[in-house]
Amino acid sequence: MKVSIIGATGYAGEELLRILAGHPAAEVVAITSESQTGENIENIYSHFTRFYNKKLASLKDLPDIAAASDAVFIALPHGHAMEAGKQIVAHGAKVIDIGADYRFRDPAVYEKWYKVPHTHADSGAVYGLTELYRDKVRAATIVANPGCYTTVSILAVAPLLKYGLVDPATIIVDAKSGISGAGRSLGLNYHLGEAYDNLRAYGIANHRHTPEIEQALSDVAGQEVVISFTPHLIPMVRGILSTCYATLKAGVAAEAVDAAYAGMYGDEYFIRLRGRGAYPATKETRGSNFCDIGWHIDPRTGRVVTVATIDNLVKGAAGQAVQNLNVMFGLDERTGLTQAPLYP
């Protein structure tokens, strides 16, 4: 397979390059950057010496790039993938968009939360949370790769809704992310002097990943789900941990919760169930495509509390993108994704 990356110098693009360097069936033929066109990626990311010695092309080269590629990853800021997507598909390549442009079935939701007109409403794009939408991904031409907060939060809560164990109106997701989720661009909140030894909440009940979580959870629940979602910035680089709260329906036993997680994920390679009373730490997934999940039943309050972790740059971005690539092209979905986590 020949693949290309549009927007290769951000952290998602960089992580795609890292993973693809070890993928036995994919070759990177082109990479682009608008701000550093013409530069060698090895000069931007010195750690890629021995892996990539390749110059950055530009979006202007997209027709040639698409023609030379079987699949193109787009890692651009939201609003920029739709025109690129149209061009790529027109030249016969498949698209995996790491950004938000293709994630919503209803363009009005996208336009409301992202304040940008949707110009590719008939794209036929499929939402690529692989474990939930695998069959659709298999047949897709355009896959919308889920957001980082959304991947881990949906995976954490979905079994509780699928098996009807909780009241959908009571779901609260309190999420904590490392700094890399904000990308490589500069900002005072990501300056080490400000962010180190520090902790803050932001975007409470306003974060754009909220409607994306709701869309998927509503699919699973078969009814509209509205949640509270709070993101926090943690002084670390990689990793997200979502702590999810929901009120159990009357009479639901702890064993039913255990069975729900096992029933939905028992055969999933990339989901590692810790079980009841055992909670994952983010670093246990670092550099890997795993999502680790543990949960607790609190009889005092009647709530279930689920804790789930991922590496936001892998299962939350580039890793799931490669997982989707594998599914779209009929490969074992683990191909290129079998490195053990880097711990400690």
Place of tokens 């739709």: 82
The phi, psi pair for 338, rounded to 5°, reads -105, 15
- Cα–Cα distance measured from residue 310 to residue 338, given in angstroms and rounded to the nearest whole number: 15
At closest approach, how far in Å is the CB of 317 from its own copies?
Answer: 13
Give the nearer residue to its own copies in terms of CB position, either 180 or 326: 180
List binders of its own copies among 237-266 (CB under 8 A).
237-239, 241, 243, 245
At closest approach, how far in Å is the CB of 10 from its own copies?
Answer: 11
Give catalytic status of residue 244 as yes or no.
no
Q: Which one of the listed residues 88, 148, 173, 216 is annotated catalytic?
A: 148
Give the nearer residue to its own copies in terms of CB position, either 179 or 220: 179
Convert 105-129 to b/e letters by CB count within 10 Å (16 or more is b).
eebebbeebbeeebebeebebbbbb
> Which region, judged by CB under 8 A, interacts with its own copies, from 81-89, 133-141, 151-159, 290-298?
290-298
β-strand partners of 32: 6, 57
List binders of its own copies among 181-240 (CB under 8 A).
184, 186-188, 190-202, 204-205, 226-228, 230, 232, 234-239
Give the nearer residue to its own copies in terms of CB position, either 48 or 110: 48
Cβ-contact 141, 95 below 8 angstroms: yes
Cβ-contact 279, 294 below 8 angstroms: yes
> Which region, judged by CB under 8 A, interacts with its own copies, from 73-81, 123-131, 156-164, 274-282?
274-282
- Cα–Cα distance measured from residue 188 to residue 87, given in angstroms and rounded to the nearest whole number: 36
> Which region, judged by CB under 8 A, interacts with its own copies, from 95-103, 138-146, 151-159, 282-290?
282-290
> Which region, judged by CB under 8 A, interacts with its own copies, from 15-23, 142-150, 250-258, 318-326?
15-23
At closest approach, how far in Å is the CB of 133 from its own copies?
Answer: 23
CA distances from 162 to 156, 223, 290 (A): 12, 11, 21
* Parallel, antiparallel or unpaired: strands 172-177 and 228-233: parallel
Give the nearer residue to its own copies in terms of CB position, either 78 or 274: 274
- Cα–Cα distance measured from residue 261 to residue 256, given in angstroms and rounded to the nearest whole number: 9
List binders of its own copies among 308-337 (CB under 8 A).
309
List binders of its own copies among 32-91 (CB under 8 A).
45-51
- Cα–Cα distance measured from residue 153 to residue 217, given in angstroms and rounded to the nearest whole number: 9
At closest approach, how far in Å is the CB of 198 from its own copies?
Answer: 4
| Binding status of residue 274 toward its own copies by CB under 8 A | yes
- Cα–Cα distance measured from residue 200 to residue 197, given in angstroms and rounded to the nearest whole number: 11
Give the nearer residue to its own copies in terms of CB position, either 102 or 290: 290
User: Residue 323: CB partners within 8 Å, gap ≥ 6?
Assistant: 130, 270, 289, 333, 334, 337
List binders of its own copies among 148-187 (CB under 8 A).
172, 174, 176, 178-180, 184, 186-187
**Amino acid of residue 233:** L
CA-based end-to-end distance of the chain: 34
Give the nearer residue to its own copies in terms of CB position, either 193 or 251: 193
Q: Catalytic residue numbers? A: 148
